[in-house]
Amino acid sequence: MARKWGQKIKQLMVNTMDLPQDVMMDLPRITIIGQLHIYIENHRGLLAFADNEVRLMLKKGQLLIKGESFVIKTILPEEIMLEGKIDKVFFLDG
């Protein structure tokens, strides 16, 4: 019950204070440039990396990126930039 109220308070703050939702709701921010680059902020860690698939842990679930010829261009504790041919991006529950 307390968790629901916490989410409602966060949503109210986002709406009334004009704050970015990704910051207040602890959501990932994903920027895709064509099929060539993907930049993910606010992730919880790299789970798996291969040249055709990348998995990142999120606060709620995982992010799965499929494609070809992936190379990690930048990796920081909560940010990552991939280069390669991006085909699909999936959100996985739990």
pLDDT at 30 exceeding the cut of 80: yes
pTM: 0.76
| Half-sphere exposure in the Cβ direction for 91 (13 Å, CA) | 11
Q: Are 21 and 28 in contact (CB under 8 A)?
A: no
How many structural domains compose the chain? 1
Whether residue 11 is contained in a domain is answered as no
| CATH code of the domain covering residue 73 | 2.60.40.2000
Residue 10 or 63, more confident = 63
- Which residues fall within 8 angstroms of residue 16, CB to CB, at 6 or more apart? none
Comparing CA positions, the residue from 32, 35, 65 lying closest to residue 48 is 65
Whether residue 14 is contained in a domain is answered as no
The pair of structure tokens assigned to 12 is: 């109210």
Query: What is the chain's mean pLDDT, rounded?
Result: 87
Whether residue 70 is contained in a domain is answered as yes
Poorest-pLDDT segment among 7-16, 39-48, 74-83: 7-16
pLDDT of amino acid 55? 98
Whether residue 21 is contained in a domain is answered as no
pLDDT of amino acid 26? 77
Tell me which residue range forms the domain holding 45. Answer: 26-92
